[in-house]
């Protein structure tokens, strides 16, 4: 069974989620299987963890057991890669049901997924393809986002993807598209600063235009990650430290948005957990320098001393 966002729906009165209701979590890292045992045994000084939703959608089993144990000590955020908000296929009822059950089990601070399409005609691609940024695509994504938020009844964030192609018939910039989407659906934004840097290099726009273009009161989370230079293009590889250009762009983002929950992503060639924590402490140091406050670094030091 699938959900069609174009089908008539009964009116539903609900209080919109406001920016003030999005908690500030500090500076976290992505939880990956290679670090499960260490996290459970050592309780490292991390403010929060983000997990890939699809890796935990099966009720029971070791991944769900680990996640429940982690959730006892840390805030957790669910980050998906399979919603395919920009697809013309009907929304996947089975997927939404599994996500709904997972969220009810672990009570995440919020959920997120990408502004992209990854399915067509019932077939799934193993990539996150960008959309044509047009009014027609905006109408489609807004309708689907409304269905998702009503179905889940939880805070939901939409992330900008890294892109390697553009559509000649786009009439909006990506940041204009995201801004209008947040206005129409009251969703929040997950700003991936590395993706901004990668896409800006690949397509020749100023990354600061993106930072200045999205609404400050809608940005609820930031991603930081490493990328590779493939010569003809940058690739969002998530296999190395955050580079200095991305740190500089993060400074610009914090200068505009203030304190935003920030996560270090590292998905390939994964280093020891301590390396990820060092990256998160560096992000906290930048935030503290830009806007003041103790930041996550002080919290990490307290945790180390306890």
Quick one: average pLDDT of 130-158? 95
What is the pLDDT at residue 208? 98
Task: State the total domains in the chain.
Answer: 1
What is the pLDDT at residue 3? 44
What is the pLDDT at residue 120? 63
Task: With respect to residue 116, please indicate whether it lies within any of the assigned structural domains.
Answer: yes
Task: Check pLDDT > 60 for residue 19.
Answer: no
Beta-ladder partners of 111: 78, 156
Task: Check pLDDT > 60 for residue 300.
Answer: no
Token pair of 135 as six digits: 């009014």
In three-state secondary structure terms, 285 is helix
Token pair of 303 as six digits: 């945790």
Classify each residue of 192-228 as buried b or exposed e, where b means 16 or more C-beta atoms within 10 Å of its C-beta.
Answer: bbbbbbbbbbbeeeebeebbeebbeebbbbbbbbbbe
Residue with tokens 């809608």: 218
Task: With respect to residue 161, please indicate whether it lies within any of the assigned structural domains.
Answer: yes
What is the pLDDT at residue 126? 67
Here the CATH number for the domain that contains residue 72 is 3.20.20.150
Handedness of CA 218, 249, 163, 125 (dihedral sign): negative
Task: Check pLDDT > 90 for residue 125.
Answer: no
Quick one: average pLDDT of 79-96? 92
Q: Over 159-210, what HEC string results? A: ECCCCCCCCCCCCCCHHHHHHHHHHHHCCEEEEEHHHHHHHHHHHCCCHHHH
Strand residues in the chain grouped as ranges (E): 2-3, 27-30, 49-52, 76-79, 91-92, 111-114, 117-120, 123-129, 156-159, 188-192, 219-224, 228-229, 234-235, 261-264
What is the pLDDT at residue 296? 46
Q: Which domain holds residue 58?
A: 21-305
Task: With respect to residue 13, please indicate whether it lies within any of the assigned structural domains.
Answer: no
Q: Round to whole Å and give the CA distance between 187 and 206.
A: 25
Residues 189, 195, 197: CA angle, nearest 5 degrees: 120
Q: Round to whole Å and give the CA distance between 252 and 260.
A: 12
Would you mind telling me the total number of residues written for the chain in this entry? 306
Task: Check pLDDT > 50 for residue 18.
Answer: no
pLDDT band at 293 (very low <50, low <70, confident <90, very high): low
Task: With respect to residue 5, please indicate whether it lies within any of the assigned structural domains.
Answer: no
Comparing CA positions, the residue from 248, 247, 242, 172 lying closest to residue 214 is 172
What is the pLDDT at residue 193? 98
The contacts of residue 270 (CB under 8 Å, 6+ apart) are: 32, 34, 35
Task: With respect to residue 285, please indicate whether it lies within any of the assigned structural domains.
Answer: yes
- What are the tens digits of pLDDT across the range 226-263? 999 889 998 888 889 999 999 999 999 999 999 999 99
Mean of all residue pLDDT scores within the chain: 88
What is the pLDDT at residue 6? 36
Token pair of 270 as six digits: 């994964």
Quick one: average pLDDT of 106-121? 87
| Predicted TM-score of the model (pTM) | 0.88
Task: With respect to residue 219, please indicate whether it lies within any of the assigned structural domains.
Answer: yes
What is the pLDDT at residue 46? 98
Task: With respect to residue 258, please indicate whether it lies within any of the assigned structural domains.
Answer: yes
Quick one: average pLDDT of 59-83? 96
Q: Over 42-64, what HEC string results? A: HCCCCCCEEEEHHHHCCCCHHHH
Task: Write phi, then psi, for 220 (nearest 5 degrees).
Answer: -110, -15
Comparing CA positions, the residue from 73, 77, 110, 99 lying closest to residue 265 is 77
- What are the tens digits of pLDDT across the range 100-113? 999 999 999 999 99
In three-state secondary structure terms, 86 is coil
What is the pLDDT at residue 239? 84
Task: With respect to residue 16, please indicate whether it lies within any of the assigned structural domains.
Answer: no
Quick one: average pLDDT of 177-181? 98
């Amino acid at each position: 069974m699938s959900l069609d966002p174009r089908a008539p729906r009964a009116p539903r009165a609900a209080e919109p989620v406001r920016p003030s209701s999005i908690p500030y979590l500090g500076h976290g890292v992505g939880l990956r299987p290679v670090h499960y045992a260490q996290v459970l045994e050592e309780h490292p000084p991390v403010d929060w963890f983000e997990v890939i939703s699809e890796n935990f959608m099966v009720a029971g089993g070791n991944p769900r057991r680990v996640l429940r144990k982690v959730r006892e000590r840390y805030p957790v955020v669910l980050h998906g890669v399979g919603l395919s908000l920009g697809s013309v296929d009907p929304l996947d009822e089975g997927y939404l049901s599994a996500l709904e059950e997972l969220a009810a089990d672990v009570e995440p601070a919020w959920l997120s997924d990408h502004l992209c399409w990854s399915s067509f005609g019932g077939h799934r691609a193993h990539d996150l393809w960008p959309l044509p940024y047009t009014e027609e695509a905006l109408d489609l994504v807004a309708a689907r986002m409304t269905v998702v938020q009503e179905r889940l009844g939880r805070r939901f964030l939409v992330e900008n993807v890294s892109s390697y192609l553009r559509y000649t018939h786009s009439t909006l910039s990506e940041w204009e598209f995201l801004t209008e989407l947040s206005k129409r659906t009251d969703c929040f934004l997950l700003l991936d600063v590395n993706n901004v840097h990668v896409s800006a290099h690949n397509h020749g726009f100023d990354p600061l235009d993106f930072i200045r273009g999205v609404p400050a009161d809608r940005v609820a989370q930031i991603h930081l990650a490493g990328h590779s230079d493939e010569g003809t293009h940058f690739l969002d590889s998530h296999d190395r430290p955050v580079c200095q250009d991305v740190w500089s762009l993060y400074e610009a983002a914090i200068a505009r948005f203030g304190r935003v929950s920030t996560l270090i992503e590292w998905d390939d060639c994964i280093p020891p957990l301590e390396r990820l924590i060092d990256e998160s402490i560096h992000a906290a140091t930048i935030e503290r320098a830009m806007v003041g406050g103790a930041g996550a670094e002080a919290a990490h030091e307290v945790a180390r001393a306890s």
